[in-house]
Structure 1
Amino acid sequence: MIVLNHTVVPVADRHRGARLLAGLLGLEVGAPAGPFAPVRVNDDLTLDFDDRSGARPGHYAFLVDDGVFDAALAFAERSGLSWGSAPRLIDHQINHLGGGRGVYILDPDGIAYEFFTAVP
Structure 2
Amino acid sequence: MTVVLNHTIVPVADKERSARLLAALLGVEAGEPAGPFVPVRVNDELTLDFDDRLGARPGHYAFLVDDVTFDVALDQARRSGLAWGSAPRTVDRQINHLGGGRGVYIRDPDGIAYEFFTTVP
Q: TM-score, normalised by structure 2?
A: 0.97
Which string of whole-angstrom CA distances, capped at 9 and with x for unpartnered residues, describes residues 60-115 of structure 1?
00000000001100001100001000011000111011111000000000000000
Give the distance between the partners of 1:13 and 1:24, measured in 2 at CA. Answer: 17
Q: Which amino acid aligns with 1:24?
A: L
Identity rate, percent: 79
CA drift of 1:22 comes to 0.3
Unaligned runs of 5+ in 1: none
Q: Which amino acid aligns with 1:12?
A: A
- Structure 2 counterpart of 1:11: 12
Which blocks of at least 5 consecutive residues in structure 2 are unaligned? none
Runs of 4+ more than 6 Å apart: none
Does the residue aligned with 2:17 lie in a helix, a strand or coil? helix
Q: Please give the residue correspondences for 1:1-120 in structure 2 after superposition, counting only pairs within 5 Å.
A: 1-118=2-119
Shift of 1:20: 0.2
Number of paired residues? 119
The code of the aligned residue for 2:94 comes to Q
